[in-house]
């Protein structure tokens, strides 16, 4: 047994990053619980296209699990992957709902966007972009990721409402869902204090918030997965034929995935010991390849683009540093397919407060005592990027603004 543990440690580099196998596994469980809501939310959103909701649940779980397991075993990084909220909304309500494309054509657009991302990864153009980003902009991205994580928390509890990718209202009512947010947030804050030294604080917060939600009737209904024919009915239904009409759709899917993943890789690891002495993330090319491959897989099984999830921050902030986090998370995703009613045991509202807390940690830890303070330009860019993340419920738009602002600065100043 000791020899097996040592082999696992050597393969993933657990001791190298100052972690333990038990901590990695706990971080993987926490990451899974923080994002399991997507197995309910993604089918609910994408079923507006006319797709079978059981098929969507199957596609969401399979694409997420396979991509996350590959991220753990191949890239050896603690990132979980699943269909992005910003992607499935665009897929269902804009591409199919407004533009009138069939869901098969929309899956074709997802497929080709994944191919583009994979090509730019192999070149390797994406890695070159990451290596060229100045430290000030990297800090701005980390703050934007933190704001986006907090925005998701506000959205899940119904405090912030979004329509067509823009904020449409704020509900100041102290509803049971909002109370669940405060319960998770307060417990996370208390157990996260340095004097407490409690490594599983966020997991405890999720459990307590789940109990509160259950007592107050806040539950989630999950689609059944008993009919195999329904489960695989969306697989291999892609309309591959590219047309000029679909070109803008390809580009939008591509840009959201392209810039979003860059921002997450940087933001999620900005204050960790995962980076080498030159500030580079090891295996970043492999991680980007898995991210792109996940989108292609998602199109084949019948769901929107697979992206690296910001909820990975939950496991990372608990001390998870290696691919074991992703591996455990991916295995639990597969188990979800066998025990789908268990997914609803943790309602989306139970994770809202923890996401607020994690977003706060990402923003708080962006600037360490050893770092130089941001100059006025990057400070302004950071603030604007954070505002864009919140108002548009989108990370990619914030990333694109940051790149554009920095490019203009370099050209004119």
Asked if the model's pLDDT at residue 348 lies above 70, the reply is yes
For residue 48, the model assigns a pLDDT of: 81
Tell me the per-residue pLDDT of 95-144, one tens digit each, with 9 for 90 and over. Answer: 888 788 899 999 999 999 999 999 988 887 777 777 777 777 777 777 78
Distance set, CA 295 to CA 109, 116, 270 (Å):
11, 10, 25
For residue 368, the model assigns a pLDDT of: 45
Asked if the model's pLDDT at residue 195 lies above 70, the reply is no
Asked if the model's pLDDT at residue 399 lies above 60, the reply is yes
Average pLDDT over residues 73-90: 88
- Please write down the long-range contacts of 375-383, taking CB distance under 8 Å and 24 or more positions apart: 375/136, 377/136, 377/409, 378/136, 378/137, 378/139, 378/140, 381/136, 381/137, 381/140, 381/405, 381/406, 382/139, 382/140, 382/143, 382/144
Asked if the model's pLDDT at residue 25 lies above 80, the reply is yes
Q: What are phi and psi of 215, to 5 degrees?
A: -60, -35
What is the rounded end-to-end Cα distance, in angstroms, of the chain? Answer: 61
| 28-47 as b/e: b if 16+ CB within 10 A | bbbbbbbbbbbbbbbbbbbb
Distance set, CA 102 to CA 22, 116, 242, 304 (Å):
46, 21, 13, 13
Asked if the model's pLDDT at residue 341 lies above 70, the reply is no
Task: Tell me the three state secondary structure of residue 306.
Answer: strand
Tell me the per-residue pLDDT of 265-293, one tens digit each, with 9 for 90 and over. Answer: 887 887 778 877 766 788 888 999 999 99
For residue 371, the model assigns a pLDDT of: 45
Give the residue from 397, 145, 398, 122 showing the smallest Cα distance to 271: 145
Average pLDDT over residues 8-37: 91
For residue 78, the model assigns a pLDDT of: 94
- Please write down the long-range contacts of 229-233, taking CB distance under 8 Å and 24 or more positions apart: 230/52, 230/54, 230/55, 231/54, 231/55, 231/57, 231/58, 232/55, 232/58, 233/52, 233/54, 233/55, 233/302
Mean pLDDT of the residues in the chain: 83
Average pLDDT over residues 21-48: 88
222 Cα distance to chain centroid: 21
Tell me the per-residue pLDDT of 203-248, one tens digit each, with 9 for 90 and over. Answer: 888 889 989 998 988 876 666 666 777 888 889 999 887 777 777 7
Q: How many CB atoms lie within 10 A of CB 312?
A: 30
CA distance 399 to 307: 15
Residues 6+ apart with CB under 8 A from 131: 280
Average pLDDT over residues 340-346: 69
Read off the pTM: 0.79
For residue 370, the model assigns a pLDDT of: 41
Average pLDDT over residues 15-28: 92
């Amino acid at each position: 047994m000791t020899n097996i543990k040592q082999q696992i440690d050597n393969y993933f580099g657990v001791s190298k990053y100052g972690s333990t196998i038990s901590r990695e596994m706990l971080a993987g469980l926490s990451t899974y619980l923080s994002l399991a809501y997507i197995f309910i939310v993604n089918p609910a959103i994408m079923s507006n296209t006319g797709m079978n909701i059981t098929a969507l649940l199957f596609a969401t779980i399979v694409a997420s699990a396979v991509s996350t397991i590959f991220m753990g075993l191949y890239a050896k990084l603690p990132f979980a992957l699943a269909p992005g909220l910003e992607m499935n909304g665009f897929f269902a309500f804009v591409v199919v709902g407004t533009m009138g494309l069939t869901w098969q054509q929309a899956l074709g657009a997802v497929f080709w966007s994944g191919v583009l991302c994979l090509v730019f990864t192999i070149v390797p153009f994406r890695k070159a972009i990451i290596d060229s980003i100045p430290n000030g902009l990297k800090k701005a991205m980390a703050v934007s990721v933190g704001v986006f994580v907090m925005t998701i928390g506000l959205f899940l509890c119904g405090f912030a409402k979004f329509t067509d990718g823009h904020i449409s209202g704020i509900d100041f009512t102290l509803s049971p869902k909002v109370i669940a947010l405060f319960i998770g947030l307060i417990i996370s804050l208390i157990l996260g204090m340095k004097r407490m030294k409690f490594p599983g604080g966020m997991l405890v917060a999720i459990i307590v918030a789940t109990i509160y939600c259950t007592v107050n009737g806040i539950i989630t209904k999950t689609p059944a997965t008993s009919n195999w024919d329904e489960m695989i009915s969306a697989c291999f239904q892609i309309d591959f034929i590219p047309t000029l009409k679909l070109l803008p759709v390809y580009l939008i899917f591509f840009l959201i995935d392209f810039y979003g993943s860059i921002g997450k890789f940087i933001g999620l690891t900005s204050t960790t010991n995962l980076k080498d002495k030159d500030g580079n993330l090891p295996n970043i090319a492999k991680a980007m390849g898995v991210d792109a491959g996940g989108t292609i897989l998602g199109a084949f099984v019948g769901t929107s683009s697979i992206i690296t999830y910001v909820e990975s921050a939950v496991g990372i902030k608990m001390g998870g540093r290696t691919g074991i986090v992703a591996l455990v998370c991916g295995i639990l995703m597969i188990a979800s397919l066998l025990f789908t009613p268990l997914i609803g045991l943790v309602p989306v509202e139970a994770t809202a407060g923890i996401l607020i807390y994690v977003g706060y940690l990402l923003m708080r830890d962006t600037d360490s005592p050893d770092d130089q303070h941001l100059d006025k330009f990057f400070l302004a860019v950071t603030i604007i990027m954070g505002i864009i993340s919140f108002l548009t419920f989108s990370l990619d738009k914030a990333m694109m603004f940051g790149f554009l602002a920095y490019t203009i600065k370099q050209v004119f100043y």
